[in-house]
Amino acid sequence: MKLDKIYALSLRHVYLICSSLPRIIDLIYWPTVQIFLWGFISKFFTLNSSFYSDTIGVILTAAILYDFLFRASISYNMMFLEEIWSRNFTNLFIAPIKLSEIIAALTLTAIFRTLIGLIPASILAIPFFGVSIFKLGIPLLFLLTSLYIFGVTLGLLVTSGLLRYGPSFENIAWASLFFLAPLGCIYYPVEILPMSLQVIAKLLPLVHIFEEMRNILLTGSVNLVELVKSISISLIYFIVGIIIFYTSYSGAKDKGTLINMGE
């Protein structure tokens, strides 16, 4: 992998974001709306039920972390879709770049887009709802890393579909995260799920991430095993995602979808 090529590929997306104020507002707008929505819901529960009295921070922190995952995945998909929408796809794939450089550039640039949305929302949650995700301390870095790897993995899987099946796969891009959300146990403990679904849910890193987040916030203790487990599972999915991406590229070459792919 050559760093200058990864830089060039990333630069294209940085130029795109920086050249458009509506794009920046769009990146900030949705996470902020999400935070306010969940903030008010949590406040309502707190005021009306003693059961929820200690958990406003838990729900809102979960909402922020879930949004981080969502933005990471959507950012990855969006950057790939931008190439299709702008009919730049062929130009990109005839340039002397490796697939690994494309993956690396998308992965690195997705964090830029994600943080533009996450940072303002996380800061706003402090004065408005008295909730700070930074209360999670150092483990927050591990949780965010795990979420980011998994978010990018979902992005990789969707882009693999786009490569193989073309723009018609676009709708899956938007639906991918909603499909996994119920199994991710973002807002509720894994025990809520039926036993059969618990088995499946535990194969996802999300359960380990959000269970550990609740553990830290409610008990103040950190379970390192859960943190390592969540990152390890995310990494396994990431590797699988890369293999699927390469396989899809090969399939796209057979099918001829790499040429003239556009709107």
* Binding of another protein by 86 (CB under 8 A): yes
User: Strand, helix or coil at 98?
Assistant: coil
Q: Look up residue 26 and give its amino acid.
A: D
Distance between CA atoms of 71 and 49, rounded to whole angstroms? 31
Residues 109 and 10 sit within 8 Å (Cβ to Cβ) = yes
* Binding of another protein by 245 (CB under 8 A): no
Residues 60 and 38 sit within 8 Å (Cβ to Cβ) = yes
Nearer to another protein, 80 or 237 (CB): 80
37: exposed, middle or buried (Cβ count in 10 Å: 0-12, 13-18, 19+): exposed
Q: How many chain residues touch another protein (CB under 8 A)?
A: 35
CA proximity to 96, closest of 11, 180, 1, 164: 1
What are the two backbone dihedrals, phi and then psi, of residue 87, each rounded to the nearest 5 degrees? 60, 35
Residue with tokens 């119920």: 182
Structure-token pair, residue 150: 């998994």
Distance between CA atoms of 35 and 67, rounded to whole angstroms? 9
Quote the least distance from Cβ 261 to another protein, whole Å: 9
Quote the least distance from Cβ 96 to another protein, whole Å: 4
Distances (CA, A) of 38 to 75, 131, 250: 22, 12, 43
Nearer to another protein, 28 or 92 (CB): 92
* Binding of another protein by 89 (CB under 8 A): yes
Among 1, 54, 87, 218, binds another protein (CB under 8 A): 87
Distance between CA atoms of 263 and 261, rounded to whole angstroms? 7
Stretch that binds another protein, among 80-88, 154-162, 207-215, 222-230 (CB under 8 A): 80-88
Stretch that binds another protein, among 135-143, 173-181, 200-208, 250-258 (CB under 8 A): 250-258
Quote the least distance from Cβ 172 to another protein, whole Å: 23
Among 25, 47, 95, 126, binds another protein (CB under 8 A): 95
Report the Cα 105 to chain-centroid distance in Å.
Answer: 16
Nearer to another protein, 14 or 141 (CB): 14
Stretch that binds another protein, among 3-11, 38-46, 70-78, 165-173 (CB under 8 A): 3-11
* Binding of another protein by 98 (CB under 8 A): yes
Nearer to another protein, 32 or 109 (CB): 109
Residue ranges in contact with another protein by CB under 8 A: 2, 4-5, 7-9, 11-12, 15-16, 19-20, 82-83, 86-91, 93-98, 250, 253-256, 258-260, 262
